[in-house]
Amino acid sequence: MKNTRLTHRVALVTGASSGLGRAVALRLAHEGAHVAVNYNRSEVAAHQVVSAIEALGVRSICVQADVSDPASVLAMANAVQDRLGPIELLVANAGITRYVPGRDLGGVTKPMWDTILGVNVVGSFLCVQAAVPQMEAAGAGSIVLISSNSAFTAEGSSIPYVVSKAAVVTLTQTLARVLPSAIRVNAIAPGWMATRWLDTYFPDNVKEELLQNAPLTAVDDVADAAVSLLGNESANGAVLVVDGGEAAGRERSRS
- Catalytic residue ranges: 161
Contact assessment for residue 138 and residue 183, using Cβ atoms and an 8 Å cutoff? no
Q: Give the residue-averaged pLDDT of 135-159.
A: 95
Contact assessment for residue 212 and residue 197, using Cβ atoms and an 8 Å cutoff? no
Q: How confident is the model over 62-111, as pLDDT tens digits?
A: 999 999 999 999 999 999 999 999 999 999 999 999 999 989 999 999 99
Domains, the chain, ranges and CATH?
A: 10-242 (3.40.50.720)
The predicted model scores a pTM of 0.93
Distance (Å, rounded) from C-alpha 183 to C-alpha 140?
Answer: 5
Q: What is the pLDDT of residue 251?
A: 62
| pLDDT grade for 195, boundaries at 50, 70 and 90 | confident
pLDDT-wise least confident of 9-23, 41-55, 209-223, 229-243: 209-223
Distance (Å, rounded) from C-alpha 11 to C-alpha 28?
Answer: 8
| pLDDT grade for 255, boundaries at 50, 70 and 90 | very low
Say whether pLDDT at 208 is over 90.
no
pLDDT-wise least confident of 147-161, 170-184, 211-225: 211-225
Contact assessment for residue 165 and residue 92, using Cβ atoms and an 8 Å cutoff? no
| pLDDT grade for 254, boundaries at 50, 70 and 90 | very low
Say whether pLDDT at 252 is over 70.
no
CA contacts within 13 A on the Cβ side of 65: 35
Q: What is the mean pLDDT of the chain?
A: 93
| pLDDT grade for 4, boundaries at 50, 70 and 90 | confident
The DSSP code sequence of the chain is: ---TTTTT-EEEETT-SSHHHHHHHHHHHHTT-EEEEEESS-HHHHHHHHHHHHTTTS-EEEEE--TT-HHHHHHHHHHHHHHT-S--EEEE---------TT-GGG--HHHHHHHHIIIIIHHHHHHHHHHHHHHHHT-EEEEEE--THHHH--SS-HHHHHHHHHHHHHHHHHHHHS-TTEEEEEEEE----SHHHHHHS-HHHHHHHHHHS----HHHHHHHHHHHHH-TT--S-EEEESTTTTTT------
At a CB cut-off of 8 Å and minimum separation 6, what does 176 contact?
Answer: 184, 185, 186, 236, 237
Distance (Å, rounded) from C-alpha 153 to C-alpha 155?
Answer: 5
| pLDDT grade for 206, boundaries at 50, 70 and 90 | confident
Output 95 or 211, whichever has higher pLDDT. 95
